[in-house]
């Protein structure tokens, strides 16, 4: 069994996992987000499965076990495994999307959170705008408000944002596959193309969180504006352009 048969399936599964995560958070569709997370955890877990299936010598198994025990450890990878087991055998990922608005007011910063399950982020955003207009313009008499809108992705009742944890697990797997490639090198066109596509996705996913945070200005009697150069009616693409 050659190195190609060990490396290529693992790279393909890693690429499939990253591709699912690349679609995560696009256009604010809650149900697509759940589906993409389910696919991500399943394909991510399958990386080690396909490698194990390709190992047919005791020496190769020893190398794999040494790399696995050294690089694929810790609480984050345990969470990945447990999450994959739940999402494939019990229920879809229990995603909670939270819209958080940080308002910068004369008396100091104020954070506004949507306490309900956010399915339609745009609708929740516009509802929050009405609250800002009511409190800041009508009650406080302000003419302009600056604020930041953040989208947080949580699991069930866990308050921790899951995306930084996902990035940590991806980084561990990337290091593991890099060393797998050093022990079982393959320079064929397929593996080289997969590595190039993986590098592109890793670059995009590294900065994906930036698209979950936007700065806005709301003036009395005007539509909300994103940043200094943005001035049009808010749409899904403004919140989730990736």
Mean pLDDT by 10 residues, the chain (242 residues): 88 97 82 95 96 94 96 96 94 91 90 69 83 89 92 88 95 97 94 96 90 90 74 37 30
**Looking up tokens 């709301």, which residue turns up?**
218
Domain boundaries, the chain: 3-94+161-206, 95-154+211-240
Distance CA 156, CA 158 (A): 6
> What's the confidence (pLDDT) of residue 117?
56
Please classify residue 42 by burial: count the beta carbons closer than 10 Å to its beta carbon, then call 0-12 exposed, 13-18 middle and 19+ buried: middle
Give the model's pLDDT for residue 37: 96
Report phi then psi at 37, rounded to 5.
-65, -40
């Amino acid at each position: 069994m050659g190195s190609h048969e060990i490396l290529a399936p693992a790279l393909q599964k890693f690429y499939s996992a990253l591709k699912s995560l690349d679609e995560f958070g696009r256009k604010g569709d809650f149900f697509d987000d759940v589906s993409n997370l389910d696919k991500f955890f399943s394909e991510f877990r399958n990386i080690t499965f396909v490698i194990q299936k390709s190992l047919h010598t005791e020496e190769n198994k020893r190398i794999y076990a040494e790399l696995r025990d050294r690089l694929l450890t810790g609480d984050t990878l345990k969470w990945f495994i447990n999450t994959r087991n739940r999402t494939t055998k019990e229920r879809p990922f229990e995603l909670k999307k939270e819209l958080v608005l940080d308002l910068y007011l004369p008396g100091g910063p104020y954070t506004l959170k949507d306490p309900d399950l956010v399915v339609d982020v745009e609708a929740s955003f516009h509802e929050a705008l009405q609250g800002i207009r009511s409190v800041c313009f009508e009650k406080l008499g302000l003419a302009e408000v600056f604020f930041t809108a953040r989208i947080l992705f949580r699991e069930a009742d866990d308050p921790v944002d899951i995306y930084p944890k996902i990035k940590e697990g991806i980084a561990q797997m990337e290091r593991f596959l890099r060393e797998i490639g050093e022990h079982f090198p393959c320079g064929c066109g397929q593996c080289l193309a997969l590595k190039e596509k993986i590098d592109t996705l890793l670059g995009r996913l590294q900065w994906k969180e930036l698209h979950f945070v936007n700065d806005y200005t709301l003036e009395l009697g005007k539509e909300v504006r994103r940043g200094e150069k943005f001035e049009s009616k808010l749409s899904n693409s403004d919140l989730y352009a990736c």
